[in-house]
Amino acid sequence: MKKKVITVLGPTAVGKTALGIELAQLFNGEIISGDSQQVYKNLDIGTAKATPEEQAAARHHLIDVREVTEGYSAFDFVQEAQLAIEKITGRGKLPIIVGGTGLYLQSLLEGYHLGGQLDQEQVLVYRAELELLSDQELIEQLETAAITLEQFTRRRAIRALELQRFGEELTNTEPPYEVLLIGLSDARDLLYERINQRVDRMVEAGLLEEARWLYDNHPEVQATRGIGYKELFPYFAGEAALDVCLEQLKQNSRRFAKRQLTWFRNRMAVDFYQASEPDTKENILRAVRDFLES
């Protein structure tokens, strides 16, 4: 029997953390962070990491598992998340993945069988390269490879190219888990306002000091590539005013939220709930109960 896993996903600032904690408390669960930045120690505010109080309310995994000088990949996430799921279910608890890094979540939840000497990291690196291509570039890749699809979608195109690249050593299998995907979204104006307000709260909580530490000590590491830090580097370098940098941070966060929603809607079969609607929580709890009882 497949292990049941709940995944809460959606754009930044929509309320995933709070919902994940509430589900963990109601359904005897533990949380696995599905965020590529929250793995780094000392980067708490800019990554919107669950606070110590929130982590005390529900056990969290894959937070603070890397130094800022270390790298982290989809391959690392899949390996460590799989181990966390085994440990959580071994304790008789429910794994609840909470995050917005689409490639990581998709790589974990959509199973592949790897045969021969094929390293899973090869597959995930190749997939990440394909994800950077536009639709037209993917179509051109399919034409070059003489691959014909009955209907083009990014998901099918990438799968087809992966299968051709790795041949018989890579075959599609049933997903390794029985998964309930819960997508949180909201009206664009409401979501964007939440993003703007969260940036303001981050600044009040000490974002500038956290970003300055990163700028002074580790300005070139992988962790700086995420939204929340690099936008402030021009201010520290004396190249831009603080208000300009903060506005850029808000704008980049809004654009990132849009890209996240596009990813999930195009690549994963997600049921989305509107965070601001009054019956959303009731509907989500009903869906979780039905999933666990089925």
The DSSP line for 199-239 is HHHHHHHTHHHHHHHHHHH-TTSGGGGSTTTGGGHHHHTTS
pLDDT grade for 171, boundaries at 50, 70 and 90: low
Instruction: Assign 155 a pLDDT band (cuts: 50, 70, 90).
Output: confident
Known binder of ligand: residue 100? no
Cβ burial of 164 (10 Å; 0-12, 13-18, 19+) is: middle
Band (pLDDT 50/70/90 cuts) for residue 199 is very high
Task: Based on the fold, state whether residues 192 and 215 are members of the same structural domain.
Answer: yes
Q: Are 202 and 280 part of one and the same domain?
A: yes
Q: Which of 138 and 233 is assigned the larger pLDDT?
A: 233
**Cα(30)–Cα(7) distance, rounded to whole angstroms?**
11
Please tell me the total count of domains within the chain.
2
Q: What pTM did the predictor assign?
A: 0.84
Domain residues for the domain of 37 are: 3-107+176-293
Asked whether residue 44 falls in the same domain as residue 143, the answer is no
Could you tell me the pLDDT band of residue 152, with boundaries at 50, 70 and 90?
A: confident
Is 14 known to sit in a ligand binding site?
yes
Does 15 belong to an annotated binding site?
yes
Q: Give the end of a domain, one of 126, 146, 172.
A: 172
Q: How many CB atoms lie within 10 A of CB 119?
A: 10
Average pLDDT over residues 155-163: 80
- 10 annotated to a ligand binding site: yes
Q: Residues 251, 274: one domain?
A: yes
24 and 88, same domain (yes or no): yes
The identity of residue 21, as a single letter, is: I
pLDDT > 90? residue 174: no
User: What tens digit of pLDDT does each residue of 37-90 get?
Assistant: 999 999 999 999 999 999 999 999 999 999 999 988 888 898 899 999 999 999
Residues 276, 214 share a domain = yes
User: What pLDDT, on the 0 to 100 scale, is given for residue 176?
Assistant: 77
Q: Is 199 annotated as a binding residue?
A: no
pLDDT band at 121 (very low <50, low <70, confident <90, very high): low
pLDDT above 70 covers a percentage of the chain that reads: 93
* Statement to judge: residues 130 and 205 lie in one domain: no
* CATH number of domain containing 65: 3.40.50.300
230 marked as part of a ligand binding site: no
Residue 170 has pLDDT above 60, yes or no: no
Q: Are residues 161 and 181 in the same domain?
A: no
The answer to the question of whether 11 is labelled as a binding residue is yes
Among the candidates 172, 198, 218, a domain finishes at 172
Burial class (CB in 10 A: 0-12, 13-18, 19+), 82: middle
CA-CA-CA-CA torsion sign (261, 57, 278, 195): negative
- Based on the domain organization, do 43 and 21 belong to the same domain? yes
Q: What is the mean pLDDT of residues 217-242?
A: 94
Asked whether residue 9 falls in the same domain as residue 100, the answer is yes
Given 172, 190, 215, the domain boundary residue is 172
Mean pLDDT of the chain: 90
Whether residue 101 is found in the same domain as residue 206: yes
Is the predicted pLDDT of residue 119 greater than 70, yes or no? no
Domain co-membership, 94 together with 201: yes
